[in-house]
């Protein structure tokens, strides 16, 4: 990709978004970011870490864009070449539809969408088979079990590919497992809160296998998908599964003073 191209990042102040912005700035590219709920500025505690990143003063501009308001999204998208749609917790389907529509109107070249492994693995038909990018969560099962997060992520990703088929927009998606790693932002995000549960024992934690992936691996994967013209379709991003009990043992060796979940 050309060095002068401009990119928007939705959810830039979040866990994955912050690391993605850091990687983009470190690569020396000219980038712009937007957030769906806040006016981003150095005085905003939630986003002060972005303004403090190396290169932010010269190459980072921060926008407010409400993902549920199409006109707001269209204004933020106008004039950019590519999009990273990283926002994870906004109403996924409506927000994604607005971003996709705005990208088509602005003739964006490529949109990289962060989905979730939750859109892959909630399906009893797979059984013990290894899951890959061809596996999709069962939307009817998600509704029946009221698994609204998995349902919204699955429907949003399906809509992304349906939109791509209708319009020709270049869409690629990444489905990471539970994203963990060091925080750049000041607020503990949802996936990192799982580790907090391990540390504090605030809730009962089942001793089962969990799929984890480092946030830096996720952002590297996003950049690789963005910069590789041949990349298309859907990609799973996951490390090897670990038992929660093994993760707790590892955390205990690092931070022995904390109270840990035992059930």
Q: Structure pTM?
A: 0.86
Q: Which residue has the higher pLDDT, 81 or 218?
A: 218
Mean pLDDT of the chain: 84
**Residue 152 contacts residue 214 (beta carbons within 8 Å):** no
Whether 165 sits among the annotated catalytic residues: the reply is: no
Half-sphere exposure (Cβ direction) of 170: Cα atoms closer than 13 Å: 17
Residue 122 has pLDDT above 80, yes or no: yes
How large is the average pLDDT for residues 149-161?
93
Element of type H or E holding 113: strand 110-114
Could you write out the DSSP letters of every residue in 177-224? -EEES--SSSS--HHHHHHHHHHH--S-----EE-EEEHHHHHHHHHH
How do residues 27-46 score in pLDDT, each as one tens digit? 865 455 554 333 333 345 67
How large is the average pLDDT for residues 179-203?
79
Label residue 88 by pLDDT band (50, 70, 90): low
What proportion of the chain, given as a percentage, has pLDDT over 90? Answer: 44
Token reading at 109: 């070249």
How do residues 201-248 score in pLDDT, each as one tens digit? 655 665 678 899 999 999 999 999 999 999 999 999 999 888 888 888
Q: Which residue has the higher pLDDT, 91 or 158?
A: 158
* H-type alpha helices, 13-147: 15-26, 48-51, 56-59, 70-77, 92-105, 139-144
pLDDT for 39: 34
User: Which residues are CB-contacts of 74 (< 8 A; sequence separation ≥ 6)?
Assistant: 101, 102, 105, 106
Q: Which of 97, 153, 165, 252 is catalytic?
A: 153
- Of 29-33, 95-99, 112-116, 209-213, which one has max mean pLDDT? 112-116
Q: Is residue 3 classed as helix, strand or coil in its secondary structure?
A: coil
Which residue ranges form the domains of the chain, and what is each CATH number? 7-180+212-238 (3.40.50.720)
Q: Which residue has the higher pLDDT, 61 or 263?
A: 61
Distance CA 166, CA 171 (A): 12
pLDDT for 207: 65
């Amino acid at each position: 990709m050309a060095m002068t191209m401009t990119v928007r990042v939705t959810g830039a102040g979040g866990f994955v978004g912050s690391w993605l912005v850091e990687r983009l700035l470190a690569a020396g590219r000219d980038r712009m970011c937007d957030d769906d709920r806040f006016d981003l500025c150095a005085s905003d505690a939630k986003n002060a870490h972005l303004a403090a990143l190396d290169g932010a003063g010269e190459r980072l501009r921060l926008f407010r864009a409400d993902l549920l308001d199409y006109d707001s999204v269209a204004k933020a998208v106008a004039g950019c070449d590519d999009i990273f749609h990283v926002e994870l917790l906004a109403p996924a389907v409506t927000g994604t539809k607005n971003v996709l529509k705005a990208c088509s109107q602005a003739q964006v070249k490529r949109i990289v969408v962060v989905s979730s492994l939750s859109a892959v693995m909630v399906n009893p038909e797979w059984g013990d088979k290894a899951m890959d990018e061809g596996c999709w969560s069962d939307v009817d099962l998600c509704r029946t079990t009221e698994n609204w997060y998995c349902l919204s992520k699955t429907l949003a990703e399906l809509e992304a590919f349906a939109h791509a088929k209708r319009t020709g927009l270049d869409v690629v998606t990444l489905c990471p497992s539970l994203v963990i790693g060091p925080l750049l932002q000041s607020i503990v995000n949802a996936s990192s809160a799982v580790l907090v549960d391990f540390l504090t024992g605030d809730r009962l934690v089942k001793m089962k296998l969990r799929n984890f992936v480092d946030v830096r691996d996720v952002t590297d994967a996003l950049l690789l998908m963005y910069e590789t013209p041949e990349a298309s379709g859907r990609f799973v991003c996951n490390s090897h599964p670990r038992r929660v009990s093994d993760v707790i043992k590892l955390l205990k060796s690092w931070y022995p003073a904390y109270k840990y979940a035992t059930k």
